[in-house]
Structure 1
Amino acid sequence: MTLENYINRENVEVLLSQLVKIHSPYFKEEKVMDFAYNWLKSKGLPAEYHRYTEDKVTKFQGINVIGEVNGKEDGPTILLNGHLDTVGICEGWTKEPLNPTIEGDKMYGVGALDMKSGSAAIMLAVNAFKNTVKHFKGNILYTFVSDEEGPYGLGTDALILDGITDHADVAIVPEPSSGFSGVSFPCLCLGARGGWNYTVHVMGKSAHAANPQLGISAIVESAKLMLELKNTELREDDKLGKGSICIISSDGGGAACSVADTASFTVFRHVVRGEDKEYIKQEVLDAAKRAGVKGDIVVTFRDAPHPDNGGFEPYTVEEDNHYTKLIKESILKATGKDANIAYFSSIGDFNYLGSRVGIPTFVFGPDGENYHTSDEYVNLNTVVDTAKVIYDFLLRTLAI
């Protein structure tokens, strides 16, 4: 049997259709995990459930599916990580989100792009490797995780906390790198921006609404600060570009006839290297000073299950890294094209792997459009190519 018997358009269509049909928004992944477990077992691949509990914030009892194929000699451990959860089904779909529709090279369905296609590519690549390569060194660790789309990435977080990733040397996360970065396929992301969620609390002074000059409106001061914060001159990273400041909610006041003495607003702050929590706090205080904000200001970061998953640290992989060279060679071999190098603009489980585990972590996956919105689709031929790239990387790295 050759590689083409295992990684081809028909096998991609069948497996990806089965995955898309299973409704699996984050925190509700049991059925899709059962499918992944049974699929791996049916192919003779090692598989086990990895269960975890987050007791502090979400009270979530989660489940991942993991497996490892081991070579006969010592060698590197390659981690292949994909999430099987999706965002919820939004309004505006003109296709049936849970009944995958194929039109030409496009498959429509919720999660078809982000990232059930990448997970399918892992499954097909590992199965192909098992059946075509009899002698190899090192290990292939594959992890299909829950709650990537949720607030804390609890699935991959649990892998790290439980030591499952401790022996990994390099990781591939087949998120839709082309779709997210706006760079044509094949797009190899050598890192990603990070991100923090924080709230600014503004304290003013109450007064009767008939005499507002006697008080300090926290709402007004909060508005001044929001406007000035958006004027912040952002640090520029030579790889990751600039971060971003997105105000995602605001609140304040509420008394029937009084000047508001409290107000708040929440920001999602994408960051680049050198921008940490202390940097962000100072950024807010500097904006308040420029705007002449009256009243006291307190910056708080969102509550988190533990200190290491309160936010997502940025990371990069060097272009001259040994594994970077290998994956670029695999991309050229499998697609016939040189990799287009980019950096992921948002956050994901890859941040945890690249920063907390501290291993070279490549984001490389299929192309498509409309992730996190209606009529999401993936280009099926790029799913085939992604699986072939993963297979070739395993071959180059582990084959004896």
Structure 2
Amino acid sequence: MDQEQLTEKSLELLKTLISIPSFSSEEDKTADAIEDWFKAFNIPFQRHINNVYAVNKYFDESKPTLLLNSHHDTVKPNSAYTKDPFHPHIEDGKLYGLGSNDAGGALVSLIAAFTYFYARKNPSHNILMVASMEEESAGANSLRGLLPKLPKIDVAIVGEPTLLDLAIAEKGLIVFDAVVKGTPSHAAHPNLNNAIYNSIEVLEWFKNYKFDKVSDALGEVKLTVTQINAGSQHNVVPAQVDLVIDVRVTDKYTNAEIAEILKREAPCELKERSLRLNSSSIAKDHPLVKSGVALGRKTYGSPTLSDQAALQCQSLKLGPGDSTRSHSADEFIYVQEIEDGIDLYIKILEKFL
């Protein structure tokens, strides 16, 4: 099938996916629709829960493997929607519907590119296509949980809306729970160890703290206090103030290094919730990046998380659509963006494979 026909079929698949509610952990019907694509093209596939995956026809264990991955789960539509989120329709060149931009456009474009190269003889890399579940919730059954069942992956393209520019690095995430302690007391009595007053100095410390290393692609590690909670009633000085700290980690640090530094230096007790959402990157001189740059695409560092955080190999985030539309009301993707996405994936892979 030629590229034009694949593009037409991809739009049909995306419309089908939009029409089916597929919130994280509830993607069984969209998984069925993706299975139908592979069946229609006589491509053998496997399924684990709601993850659907396939390898190229001439898979060779002696060769390195390229992963093509995007997700088919969505967040729930917000209350500001004016259009039916499950009614895919095109207006003024825009395909509307929940998940159209994040990440349906990238998903169907990658599936189309995989199908285009499925029967390619003697490629330099094997190709592994994974349509994954639970990306939005970073669930246990997402790509992270699927990895032990997959062949060894050497490099990856993760499909997310990037305006078809090359996100060569992605920030990781650590969430910390912090405790600022004090002496509980009646508000009528003197108390020089008020936990709420003590938190002022702690908040200032977090506001002003800078990590030494700055990433070329991602800039500084970003540290933000996002929640604060204390007190039960007006006449009781509480024993502690609870804070939540959101830390966006660059490729200059591992999550473990960030946790070790902050726990050593912060003027309060800190406990990380998880260290598994590491930053991701790919070398600027990697053939995938050079292939994309040669086609006129820009490189940048992405502040948003994706399934890249599950991968240990070098990975590139790339796809049609615009990240600022993700999780917005009346989500859409331009039809032209999908056409351009399929074309770019194919051209990059032509050079790479």
Shared fold by TM > 0.5? yes
Structure 2: stretches of 5+ with no match in the other structure: none
Residue 164 (structure 1) aligns with: 150
For the pair 1:2 / 2:30, whether they are aligned, the reply is no
| 1:1-400 matches, cutoff 5 A | 1-7=1-7, 10-51=8-49, 63-71=50-58, 75-130=63-118, 133=120, 136=123, 138-152=125-139, 154-160=141-147, 162-166=148-152, 168-178=153-163, 186-211=164-189, 213-214=190-191, 216-235=193-212, 236-254=214-232, 257-272=235-250, 273-274=252-253, 276-280=255-259, 282-283=261-262, 286=265, 288=267, 297-302=268-273, 304=274, 310-329=275-294, 332=295, 338-353=296-311, 356=312, 358=313, 360-368=314-322, 369-398=324-353
Q: Assess if the C-alpha contact under 8 Å between 2:71 and 2:132 holds in 1.
A: yes
Change (3 A) 1:387 1:233: same
CA contact (8 A) 1:83 1:144 kept: yes
- The CA deviation at 1:154 is 4.1
* Separation (CA, whole Å) in 2 of partners of 1:125 and 1:322: 18
1:274–1:326 distance in 2 versus 1, CA, 3 Å: same
Task: Report the aligned-residue RMSD.
Answer: 2.4
Is the Cα–Cα contact under 8 Å of residues 105 and 321 in structure 2 kept in the other structure? Answer: no
* Distance across 1 between alignment mates of 2:59 and 2:191: 79
> Any conservation in 2 of the 1:207–1:215 contact (CA below 8 Å)?
no
Unpaired segments of 5 or more residues in structure 1?
52-62, 179-185, 289-296, 305-309, 333-337
Q: Distance in 2 between matches of 1:248 and 1:72?
A: 47
Can you list the C-alpha shifts for 1:200-249, whole angstroms capped at 9, x where unaligned?
012211111211x2362223323442243122234421221122223332
Alignment deviations for residues 361-389 of structure 1 (CA, whole Å, 9 cap, x no partner): 11110123421221222122121121222
Conservation of the 8 A alpha-carbon contact between 2:177 and 2:272: yes
Q: Is the 8 A contact 2:168 2:282 kept in 1?
A: yes
Q: Which amino acid is 2:326 matched to?
A: Y
Q: For 2:90 and 2:44, locate their aligned partners in 1 and report how far apart those are by CA, in whole Å.
A: 31
8 Å CA contact 2:166–2:300 kept in 1: the answer is yes
User: TM-score, normalised to structure 1's length?
Assistant: 0.80
Aligned residue for 2:270, secondary structure, equals: strand
Count of residue correspondences? 349
CA 136–283 in structure 1, closer or farther in 2 if over 3 Å, else same = closer
CA offset at residue 34 of structure 1?
1.8
Give SS of 2:21's match. coil
Q: Shift of the alpha carbon at 1:328?
A: 3.5
Q: Secondary structure at the match of 1:241?
A: coil
Q: Secondary structure at the match of 1:383?
A: helix
User: How far apart, CA to CA, are the structure 2 residues paired with 1:234 and 1:106?
Assistant: 42
Query: Offset at 1:350?
Result: 1.2
Relative to structure 1, is the Cα distance of residues 127 and 189 closer, same or farther in structure 2, using a 3 angstrom cutoff? same
Question: Aligned AA for 1:361?
Answer: S
Tell me how far apart the structure 1 counterparts of residues 300 and 131 of structure 2 sit (CA, whole Å). 25
Q: Against the structure 1 CA distance between its residues 279 and 77, is the aligned structure 2 distance closer, same or farther, given a 3 Å change threshold?
A: closer
Q: Quick one: distance in 2 between partners of 1:361 and 1:389?
A: 17
CA distance in 2, matches of 1:138, 1:388: 20
Compute the displacement of 1:175 (Å).
0.5
Shift of 1:126: 2.0
Displacement of 1:103 in angstroms is 1.8
Distance 1:72 1:298, change over 3 A: closer
Q: 2:162 touches 2:321 (CA, 8 Å); kept in 1?
A: yes
SS of 2:208 mapped into structure 1: coil
Name the residue aligned to 1:57.
none
In the superposition, the TM-score normalised over structure 2's length comes to 0.90
CA deviation string 1:268-304 (max 9, x = no partner): 110111263453454476453xxxxxxxx310111x5
Identity %: 25
Cα gap change, 1:169/1:91 in structure 2, threshold over 3 Å: closer, same or farther?
A: same
**CA offset digits 1:330-378 (Å, max 9, x no partner):** xx2xxxxx0111111122111322xx2x2x3111101234212212221
Q: Distance in 2 between matches of 1:40 and 1:96?
A: 28
> Cα gap change, 1:140/1:276 in structure 2, threshold over 3 Å: closer, same or farther?
closer
Change (3 A) 1:11 1:39: closer
Q: Cα distance 1:203–1:152, how it changes in 2: closer, same or farther (>3 A)?
A: farther
**Which residue of the partner structure matches residue 182 of structure 1?**
none
Does structure 2 conserve the Cα–Cα contact (< 8 Å) formed by 1:159 and 1:165? no
